[in-house]
Amino acid sequence: MALTKVVALRITNPLTAVAAALQVATAVLLAFFAEAIPFGLVRQVHLVTGFTLAALILVHLMLNWSWVKSNYFRKRSKA
The answer as to whether 78 is a domain residue is: no
Nearest CA-CA partner of 44 in 65, 19, 21, 26? 26
Q: Would 72 be classed as within a structural domain?
A: no
Q: Within a domain: residue 13?
A: yes
For 43-65, what is the mean pLDDT?
96
Establish if 75 belongs to a structural domain: no
- Taking the C-alpha atoms of residue 47 and residue 64, their distance in angstroms, rounded to an integer, is 26
Could you give the CA distance from residue 18 to residue 15 in angstroms, rounded to a whole number?
5
What is the residue range of 33's domain? 5-66
Q: Determine the pLDDT at residue 2.
A: 79
Q: How many domains does the chain have?
A: 1
> Does residue 79 belong to any structural domain of this protein?
no
Q: Find out whether 22 and 45 touch, Cβ atoms under 8 Å.
A: yes
| SS3 assignment, position 37 | coil
Query: pLDDT tier at 33 (50, 70, 90 boundaries)?
Result: confident
